[in-house]
């Protein structure tokens, strides 16, 4: 049972202090992690498998009731989560999925607007299984954004998509974040994705922040020299070189 002090944040969107989480007795997954995310800031979280990326995200989402640990977490009141799978309810049509749990007379209108924003106008009455993987994930994004979150938590949201769809989704997510300005914590294992999308890249290792770099690139194209330097730095910290050798 996690015994955190949780609270609503004021000046920072996310403030985490001394966060510990462990699944077994002998070793912790998170070992005293500190993290701040400013309102509207886009942070990408990378790290090797098992370094606690998802554990941190689930702690921020409040989904780790049954995990041992302690620490202080402050998050905004409105938090939305995007998972690796879209988690659209198969028995609800797309629009009903987007406005699931939403109250108010204008819910359907807002839902339709959110669908249009992610390029799914006209698919309101489709069943989830009739959408492609990319479309399902866009519907999931619409479901998150229609709630106007101050913090968007995304756990490898593009992990199951093909490379072309993924590039399109990157552009869409950047555009959406520029319009709605939520603070974002994106968990990914793709270094390029992190650099393309984020204002800041954080690398976790052994349950603490290992590297914390600001992405100050005028040009986010992969051929840019600054991009390549950043990628080399991060890959080096992850313990692999450009060819994937350890």
Partner 1 sequence: MTAALHATTPKSDDKTDARVVRRRLGPGRRIRFAFWIGPLLALAVWSVGSATGVIKPAILSAPWDVAVAFEDQWSNHDLPGNILSSLERAVIGLTLGVVTGAVLAVISGLSRAGESVIDGPIQIKRSVPTLAIIPLFIAWFGIGQEMKIVTIALISLVPIYIHTHNGLRGIDGKYAELAETIGISRGDFIRHVVLPGALPGFLLGMRFAVTSALLGLVVVEQYNAVAGIGHMITLAEQYGQTDVIVVGLVIYGVFGYCADSAVRLTARKVLAWRQTLEG
Query: Helix %, strand %, coil % for the chain, to 5?
Result: 35, 25, 40
- The residue ranges that bind partner 1 (CB under 8 A) are 61-63, 79-81, 83, 85, 87, 89-92, 100-101, 127-129, 147
Question: In terms of CB distance, is 64 or 117 closer to partner 1?
Answer: 64
Q: Using the minimum distance from each CB to partner 1, give the nearer residue, 9 or 238.
A: 9
75 close to 8: Cβ distance less than 8 angstroms: yes
User: Exposed (0-12), middle (13-18) or buried (19+): which is 66, by Cβ within 10 Å?
Assistant: exposed
Rounded least distance, CB 94 to partner 1, Å? 11
Least distance CB 50 / partner 1 (angstroms): 21
Chain centroid, CA 66 distance in Å = 22
Closest to 63 measured CA to CA, from 35, 26, 21, 28: 21
Closest to partner 1 by CB, 129 or 245: 129
Closest distance of CB 143 from partner 1, Å: 8
Residue 117: which H helix or E strand, with range?
helix 107-117
Least separation, in Å, of the C-beta of 13 and partner 1? 17
Residue with smaller CB distance to partner 1, 131 or 215? 131
């Amino acid at each position: 049972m996690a015994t955190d002090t949780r609270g609503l944040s004021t000046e920072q969107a996310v403030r985490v202090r001394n966060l510990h989480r462990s699944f077994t007795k002998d070793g912790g997954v998170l070992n005293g992690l500190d993290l701040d995310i400013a309102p509207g800031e886009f942070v990408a979280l990378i790290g090797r498998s098992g370094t606690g990326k998802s554990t941190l995200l689930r702690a921020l989402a409040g989904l780790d009731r049954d995990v041992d640990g302690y620490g202080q977490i402050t998050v905004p009141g409105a938090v939305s989560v995007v998972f690796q799978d879209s988690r659209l309810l198969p028995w609800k049509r797309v629009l009903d999925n987007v406005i699931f749990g939403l109250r108010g007379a204008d819910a359907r209108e807002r839902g339709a607007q959110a669908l249009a924003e992610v390029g799914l106008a006209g698919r309101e009455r489709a069943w989830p299984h009739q959408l492609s993987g990319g479309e399902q994930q866009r519907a999931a994004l619409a479901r998150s954004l229609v709630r106007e979150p101050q913090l968007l938590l995304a756990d490898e949201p593009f992990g199951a998509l093909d490379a072309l769809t993924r590039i399109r989704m990157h552009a869409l997510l950047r555009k959406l974040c520029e319009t709605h300005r939520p603070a974002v914590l994106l968990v990914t294992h793709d270094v390029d994705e992190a650099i393309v999308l984020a204002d800041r890249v954080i690398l976790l290792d052994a349950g603490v922040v290992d590297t914390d770099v600001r992405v100050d690139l005028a040009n986010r194209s992969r051929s840019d020299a600054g991009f390549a330097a950043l990628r080399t730095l991060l890959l080096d910290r992850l313990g692999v070189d450009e060819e994937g050798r350890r």
